Amino acid sequence: MEILGASLRICVDDLDTAIPFYERLSGGRALRFERGGVQVAAVGSFLLMSGPEAELEVLRKVAATIAVKDVEEARRLLDGLGARIIAGPVPTPVGHNLIAMHPDGSVFEYVDQHQD
């Protein structure tokens, strides 16, 4: 499995207020979308999230988002290494994702950017 990068997940109270700071910090523009009632902005290596507290409580348990070449390949490797797949793989607006708990208890989201 090839890891292409990682995004830091940050829950914010007000996405519109947070975005300009992270755009200037990273030198990039925010890509905004909604997922399960949560507003999300991807800005450089940051993934900003804002929404209902019940949803954010779950999202805070995920340490980081890891970009991979192929989520299905990641699933097979994670299974073989003893990780527990919590959710997915499922389609996303730009590819697929899954959430896995590693044997040490840490939780990560794995994403790819394949178009169907």
Give residue-wise pLDDT tens across range 77-116. 999 999 999 998 998 878 899 999 999 999 999 999 865 4
Q: Is this model's pTM higher than 0.85 or not?
A: no
Contacts of residues 56-59 at CB distance under 8 Å and 24 or more positions apart, as own/partner, are 56/11, 59/9, 59/11
Burial of residue 108 (number of CB atoms within 10 Å: 0-12, 13-18, 19+): buried
Determine contact, residues 77/71, Cβ cutoff 8 Å: no
